[in-house]
């Protein structure tokens, strides 16, 4: 029995653990065999992995304590705009404005959002500004490992169409491949690794 994810060590019945980086790279590469760059953005963390043809993670980078490159940041900002996450993503797609957000930190970014609200900036533009900011931080992490081959996005932020668009723009790529059930790609990768180790 193998476990993956941040809480894998808490799974008492698991005999082995695999980190999210290794499992995510494996799962993404299994779904998209030409994938060499995996971007994983969930609520808690954003990270980039470089994988080889076998789905082995050969380099990775992630955000540290700061949440500004992760889904929870987008979630907090959508709350500030009194929108659901889905509405937030869709709203962003309706904007063609680029409003830079200067704050590095979620707390300060929230006050920037409040200023934008007070200056009557349309919600669509604010949503895009926030998602562009998350995408730019994630992209900076991914660039550390290098962008190569097919780019695959996994994790909950796949469901946010606005973020996907912002990410493509930030990375300067035409396409980002999106798996079905993106939250389970790391679990899939973990299962594949478990199967390999049985042989």
In terms of CB distance, is 79 or 144 closer to another protein?
144
- Min dist. Cβ of residue 81 to another protein (A): 29
In this complex, which beta carbon is closest to another protein, that of residue 20 or of residue 125? 20
Whole-number minimum distance, CB 149 to another protein, in Å?
A: 17
Q: Contact residues for another protein (CB under 8 A)?
A: 6, 17-22, 56-62, 64-65, 144-146
CA triple 46-167-94, angle to 5 deg? 125
Nearer to another protein, 64 or 96 (CB): 64
Cβ-in-10-Å burial (0-12, 13-18, 19+) of 17 comes to middle
Of 52 and 114, which has the nearer Cβ to another protein? 52
Q: Which two tokens stand for residue 133?
A: 């900011």
Of 164, 173, 77, whose CA–CA distance to 125 is shortest?
Answer: 77
* Residue 105: other Cβ atoms inside 10 A: 12
Place of tokens 């790529």: 173
CA distance 78 to 6: 25
Query: How are the residues of the chain apportioned to helix, strand and coil, as percentages rounded to the nearest 5?
Result: 50, 15, 35
Tokens linked to 6 = 């941040």
Least distance in Å: CB of 57 to another protein? Answer: 6
Task: Closer to another protein by CB, 65 or 199: give it.
Answer: 65
Q: How far is the CB of 162 from another protein (least distance, A)?
A: 28
- Supply the minimum distance, in Å, between the C-beta of residue 18 and another protein: 7
């Amino acid at each position: 029995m193998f476990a993956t994810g941040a809480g894998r060590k808490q799974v008492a019945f698991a005999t082995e653990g695999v980190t999210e980086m290794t499992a995510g790279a494996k799962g993404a590469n299994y779904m998209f065999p030409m994938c060499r760059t995996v971007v994983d953005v969930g609520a808690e963390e954003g990270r980039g992995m470089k994988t080889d043809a076998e789905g082995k993670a050969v380099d990775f980078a992630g955000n540290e304590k700061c949440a500004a490159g992760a889904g929870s940041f987008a979630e907090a900002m959508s709350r500030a705009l009194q929108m659901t996450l889905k509405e937030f993503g869709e709203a962003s797609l309706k904007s063609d404005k680029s409003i830079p957000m200067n704050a590095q930190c979620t707390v300060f970014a929230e006050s920037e959002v409040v200023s934008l609200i007070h200056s009557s900036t349309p919600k669509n533009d604010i949503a895009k500004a926030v998602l562009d900011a998350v995408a730019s931080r994630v992209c900076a992490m991914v660039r550390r490992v290098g962008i190569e081959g097919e780019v695959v996005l996994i994790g909950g932020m796949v469901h946010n169409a606005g973020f996907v668009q912002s990410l493509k723009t930030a990375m300067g790529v035409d396409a980002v491949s999106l798996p079905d059930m993106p939250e389970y790609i790391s679990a899939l990768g973990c299962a594949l690794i478990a199967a390999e180790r049985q042989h």
